[in-house]
A and B are shown apart, each in its own frame.
Chain A
Amino acid sequence: MGGVGRSLAGLGELTLLFANALGGSFRRPFYWKEFLEQCRLILAANLVPLLLTGMGFGAIVSLEAGQFFRAASAEYRLGGFSVMANVREFSPVATGLMVAAVSGTAIVADLGARQIRSELEALSVMGLSNVLFVVVPRALALMLMTALYNFPMICFTTLASFFVGAFLVGVNPGGFLGSFWTQGTVVDVLGGEVKCVIFGAIVAAICIYKGVAARGGAEGVARAVHSAVVWCFVSISVFEYVFTPTVLALFHSQITLR
């Protein structure tokens, strides 16, 4: 019972912190330099891992679905299936998981180390608001960069699907491209973007809270990073499962065959 109460209290604190961050992003001063620096860190750390995971995800879509469609003599549908699998599902999810794993953990480690050395208190003694200087730039940078990284990720996954489909599975390239462009719509991409912004918000809320709440030396930081990763992954999976049926129910035209 005590455990449940503590978890609920933690969830409340996390929500309050994130609400403060959202409110704080409209307050002056806005620390542009810190924001751009965080964006740069996320940009530099994620590029290669995202490229590699994108290739892996795109390849399995073509390998499994391509074999299945070929058995059903409908190979050209692989392009349309790739819109559903790559653009709608795998790109946002892989981007969210990767940003959580690479940048989220780095933010927890950084903030946790500052917290246990009382550097955050030192900042507020110096008259810098912790929310405005530490929390807001990181939260906004995570949300923006997750959303922006979705576009290159769509390119990576779809290109991998195309090349694996065309050269390994033996799908007609023209048929792949034809059904890809007829099936894909802007709503698919925008749905993925909304998903990515919310993934970024989830990662920001969990990681910043866990970092600021770290207690008890090196072991405390390690524990904070560990639990932040687990909670990010579980929350991203839960949100992903709730979001897809909701969007497909709202935009019913997305489930028709073109």
Chain B
Amino acid sequence: MASRVSTAGVAQRLDDLFRPLDAIGEIMGFAAHAIARIPASFRYAGEIWWYAAFLAIGSTPVALVITYLSGSECSVEAYYSLHQLGGAESLAGVFNALCDTREITPLFFGFAIGAKVGCGLVAELGTMRVNEEIDALETMGVAPVTYLVSTRLAAALLVLPLMYVLSLGSSYLASWVVQHFQIGVVSDGVYFAYFWRFTNLEDLGFSLLKAVVFALTIIAVAVHQGFHVRGGPVGIGLAVARTMAISLVMTVLLNALMTEVFWGHNPNLPIPTS
């Protein structure tokens, strides 16, 4: 009898352990389903353009502000940590090129997209679900996944890479502004000589790839959570909270993984190593 209870307990434990994996599988399945229907969603081009414009106008300022601040933070740390190494401030350009392009800007762009676009999607789709508008769409014979989810994915794929390029520019600008106006130790010539020496097309491509992967992950999580909201206003709030947590964790973990894959073996630094 006792052993039976404990086996049931162990099975329960295992179930609990694998529940997050189940959730990830569900999210990926839903996202794959929605992505497969993107071609079918082109008949609702109006919806795609509307959401693309909404993203471009509503979310770009938030992404630009957050990446501007993260770029400034990088530059401040660049000065102080290089100063610590016995007056190597002139290498601030190197620090900023690595910090901005490779790590901090994609990461904070992911946070900004998670907060602004991800939460917005959950709130919007969740409200529709709670007000039974999604069921109404189904009754009218419109496939809700195609009309609501695939159109939004298509719009995000259209707008977010461009938004990321602008954000990268914003963080570069911020890094330079801090070096030039706030700290004022490094001359522009030395700063930009190092900065452009350590910025190359390969890094920019990987950086853009990082940002697109983050954005797609966040949006996949958000549409899944928003589409399957249960339980009234509290349900929407909890779904937003869950989306935020999942997308933050996924962004940071994917970032570490992609850094290792892209630059772990080949640092791609123009310094001759032994």
Contact = CB atoms under 8 A, between A and B. Distances in A.
Given A67-B267, A68-B269, A109-B236, A55 B80 contact: no
A219 B263 CA distance: 44
Interface in A235-252: 237-238, 240-241, 244-245, 248
B90 interface: no
Contacts of B241: 101-102, 105-106, 109, 225
Main SS of the interface on chain A?
helix
B237 A225 contact: yes
B212 interface: no
B94 interface: yes
Contact of A102 (B108, B245, B259): B245
A80 B83 CA distance: 13
A49 B83 CA distance: 34
B179 interface: no
Contacts of A68: 94, 98, 267, 269
Contacts, number: 185
Nearest to A117: B233
Contacts of A116: 233
A47 B222 CA distance: 22
Interface string A117-158: 000000000000000000000000000000000000000000
B240 A105 contact: yes
A101 B245 contact: yes
Interface string B232-267: 111011101100110011001101100110011001
Contacts of B233: 109, 112-113, 116, 217-218, 221-222
Interface string A190-233: 00000000000000000000000000011101110110011011
Main SS of the interface on chain B?
helix
A237 B69 contact: yes
A137 B76 CA distance: 36
Given A64-B98, A218-B233, A229 B69 contact: no
A226 B119 contact: yes
24 contacts: A56-B256, A60-B256, A60-B259, A63-B260, A64-B99, A64-B259, A64-B263, A98-B248, A102-B241, A105-B237, A105-B244, A106-B237, A106-B238, A109-B237, A109-B238, A110-B234, A218-B131, A221-B237, A222-B122, A233-B115, A238-B69, A240-B69, A255-B83, A257-B85
- 3 A-B pairs with least C-beta separation: A109-B237, A222-B123, A56-B252
